[in-house]
């Protein structure tokens, strides 16, 4: 399949939406893997408003071959000629009764293996046993986010809202006047589809109002090594062969 249109949309607008990357059978297998995973340790978070699994591939390794089907591998190959690798994988389940919303923001933090005093690595955090940091902007600009939708998602169950082209303005202060809601676009995604996004794209999500789930697998890809001694907390190279998707 030719993903040229999606590549152009991603670069120009900061997002793009695709349908039919996963069949119903593939989705059932993915959900079965997640449901059968042992839910303990810092990587698992469960509240009445959210269930999440961080470091998803590490905690549920059986998912690797299911997520990286031929369509997703072809998509990644078409988005860039560079050799990208997986740097973050999270499962989100926004339950049907969730009253949780997220205000407009950019995804500015990456997960790393340790803390180090380095130029242009700022705003350090330590949550759930892992370090986060805001890296040099070149790394954020080259990040590609792929959100796999396990449920049909629309404005009534937390579909992401974005400000098109906002990623072109670099890092935007929360109180900045460089953006407005007049250009807001709601990224509705069919079950089995994906949303592509640049992390510098301003995005938000509303509370669920229709009583339906919104289960998403959030993947981030990059092509840069970090300044030593830092390394990505998650680093999975993507192979083309269908038998083993990671190295």
Q: Where do the DSSP E strands lie in the chain?
A: 15-18, 44-46, 51-53, 85-94, 102-105, 110-112, 122-127, 130-134, 144-149, 161-162, 185-186, 194-197, 203-205, 214-222, 236-237
Residue pLDDT, tens place only, 24-42: 999 999 999 998 887 766 7
Q: Tell me the pTM.
A: 0.92
Q: Does residue 244 lie within any of the structural domains?
A: no
* Residue 118, C-beta contacts closer than 8 angstroms, at least 6 positions apart: 227, 230
Question: Does residue 153 lie in a domain region?
Answer: yes
Rounded distance, CA 15 to CA 119, Å? 30
Task: Assess if residue 243 is contained within a domain.
Answer: no
Total Cβ atoms within 10 A of residue 218: 19
In terms of residue numbers, what domain contains 63? 4-237
Answer yes or no: is 25 within a domain.
Answer: yes
Q: How many domains does the chain have?
A: 1
- Provide the 3-class DSSP secondary structure of residue 36: helix
pLDDT band at residue 247 using 50, 70 and 90 as cut-offs: very low
Q: Is residue 245 domain-resident?
A: no
89: in domain: yes
Q: Is residue 246 part of a domain?
A: no
Q: What is the pLDDT of residues 69-121, one digit of tens each?
A: 999 999 999 998 889 999 999 999 876 666 667 889 999 999 999 999 999 99
Residue 38 in any domain: the answer is yes
| CATH code at position 191 | 2.60.120.620
């Amino acid at each position: 399949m030719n993903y040229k249109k999606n590549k152009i949309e991603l670069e120009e607008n900061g997002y793009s939406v695709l349908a039919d990357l996963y069949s119903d059978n593939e989705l059932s297998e993915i959900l079965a893997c997640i449901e059968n995973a042992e839910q303990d340790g810092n990587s698992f978070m469960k509240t009445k408003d959210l269930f999440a699994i961080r470091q998803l591939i590490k905690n549920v390794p059986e998912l690797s071959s299911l997520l990286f089907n031929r369509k997703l591998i072809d998509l990644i190959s078409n988005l860039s000629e560079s050799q990208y690798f997986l740097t973050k994988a999270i499962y989100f389940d926004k339950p049907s009764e969730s009253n949780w919303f997220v205000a407009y923001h950019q995804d500015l933090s990456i997960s790393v293996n340790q803390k180090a005093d380095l130029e242009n690595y700022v705003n350090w955090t330590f949550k759930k046993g892992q370090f986060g940091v805001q890296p040099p902007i070149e790394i954020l600009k080259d990040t590609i986010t792929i959100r796999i939708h396990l449920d049909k998602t629309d404005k009534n169950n937390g579909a992401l809202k974005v400000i098109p082209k906002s990623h072109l303005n670099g890092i935007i202060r929360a109180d900045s006047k460089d953006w407005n809601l007049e250009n807001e676009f709601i990224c509705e995604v069919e079950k089995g589809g994906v949303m592509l996004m640049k992390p510098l794209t301003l995005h938000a999500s509303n509370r669920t109002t229709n009583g339906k789930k919104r289960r998403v697998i959030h993947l981030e890809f990059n092509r840069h090594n970090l300044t030593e001694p830092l390394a990505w907390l998650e680093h999975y190279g993507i192979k083309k062969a269908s038998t083993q998707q990671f190295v």
